Amino acid sequence: MAKKVLVLAESRDGALRNVSFEAIAAAKEISGGGEVFAVLCGDSVQSLANELIHYGADRVLTAENEKLANYTTDGYYQALKQIIDEEKPEAIVFGHTSLGKDLSPRLAARLESGLISDVTGLEQAGENTVFTRPVYSGKAFEKKLINDGLIFVTIRPNNIAPLEKDESRSGEVKSVSIEIKNLRTIVKEVVRKASTGVDLSEAKIIVAGGRGVKSEDGFKPLQELADVLGAAVGASRGACDADYCDYSLQIGQTGKVVTPDLYIACGISGAIQHLAGMSNSKVIVAINKDPEASIFSVADYGIVGDLFEVVPLLTEEFKKV
Ligand code: FAD
C-alpha cells in the first residue's frame, strides 16, 4: 500500500544539507509510490523550498517562525507535532544528524511509535520497507521492519544516494502558520568555531589525524592536504584528548560516525572505538609508522611510513591533478 511520507529537511548557513536530499530518496522508497512531502522549519527558509522539489519532494511545507530560527527540541517538537496532526503521515524520515538524533526519539516516544535509527540501506519487501542498520559498533548489521503504525526513521549521511536533481520538476510550496508557546529552552547566541567549511558528517573525503600527529601544529600538513582535496579534517579521540584539536573533530564510537568515499587516517592506531566511526568508509587509506597497527586491517591501501613525510608528498601529487 502506498504511504504518505514526511521528510524533515535541514538547512545550515542558508543552504540545504545534503542529507535532506538523501532522506527524500529514502522516503520515495518507503512511500512505495505514495506521496513524499518535505517540511522546512526556520525563520527564513522559503527560498530553499524549490530545491527540495528538484530532488524529488512532491510538495514542501515551510514552517517559518522567529522562535524556530535556531534549533530547540521543544520548538521543533511543537512545529512537527502540529504538522503531523494535520497531515497524518505514515512514515517520517530524518537525517541521522545531531538534530535528527535529538528530535526523532522524542517525537516517536510521545506519539507512541517505533523508531529505526541510523539506517544505512533499505529494500522493499511487499508492503513494508526493510531497513538495514549497524549494530555492535558497526561489527554487524541488522535488518528491521515496523509493520504497524507510524514509522520514524533516521538515515546515516552519505549512505543512500539522492535522486538526480531535476530543475524542471514542480510542486506545491505552502507556508504553514505554527504556534510556538512556552519554550523551555531559548538560544541566546550561537558561537561558531572556525571551520574549513566542509561538514565532517557529510564530507565525501576526510583526512583524519591521531596521536601520531604529535601536536596541534602537526595537524597543519593534514589541513593542507584536506584543502587540496576539498576534504574535511577529522581526528581520533587520542588526538582530541592530547589537546591537539577540538572534540568536535572526533570520529568514533563516542564521536561522529562518518561514511565518506575516501578516509585518510594519519597516525591513528585503529582502536575498535575509532573503527566504529569510520570502518564503513568506501575507501580507507592508512598512513602509520607501525606495520602492525590495527588500522591496516580495515585499510584498502596502507602506507607504512612517517606521516610528516608521506602527507606533504600526497599534497604535492594531488596539486598536480
Ligand atoms: P594511538 O593509539 O596512540 O596511536 C597513534 C598511532 O600513531 C600509532 O599507531 C603510531 O604507530 C602512529 N604514529 C606515531 N607517529 C607517527 C608518525 N610520525 N607517522 C605515522 N604514524 C605515526 N577513540 C576514538 O578515536 N574515537 C572514539 O569515539 C573513541 N571512543 C572511546 C570510547 C571509550 C568508552 C573508550 C574506552 C575509548 C574510546 N576511544 C575512542 C579511544 C580509543 O580506545 C583509543 O585510545 C584512541 O582511538 C587512540 O587514538 P590514536 O589512534 O590517535 O592514538
Residue nearest to atom 49 of ligand 1 (CA): 238
Write the DSSP string, 220-233. HHHHHHHHHHT-EE
How far is 204 from 197, CA to CA, in rounded Å? 13
For residue 270, report the distance from its CA to the centre of ligand 1, in Å. 6
How far is 154 from 174, CA to CA, in rounded Å? 24
Cell matching residue 26: 529514502
| Per-residue pLDDT tens digits for 15-37 | 999 999 999 999 999 999 999 99
C-alpha distances (whole Å) from 35 to each of 2, 4, 46, 101, 217 are 8, 5, 21, 24, 51
Q: Is 192 annotated as a binding residue?
A: no
| Per-residue pLDDT tens digits for 158-183 | 999 999 999 999 999 999 999 999 89
pTM: 0.86
**Cell 582535496 identifies what position?**
229
Q: Is 254 annotated as a binding residue?
A: yes
- Contact assessment for residue 21 and residue 38, using Cβ atoms and an 8 Å cutoff: no
| Residue 1 clears pLDDT 90, i.e. is over it | no
Mean pLDDT computed over every residue of the chain: 94
Q: Is 287 in the pocket of ligand 1 (CB under 6 A)?
A: yes
Q: Is 287 annotated as a binding residue?
A: no
Cell matching residue 68: 524556530
| Residue 197 clears pLDDT 90, i.e. is over it | no
What's the confidence (pLDDT) of residue 136? 87
Q: Is 256 in the pocket of ligand 1 (CB under 6 A)?
A: no
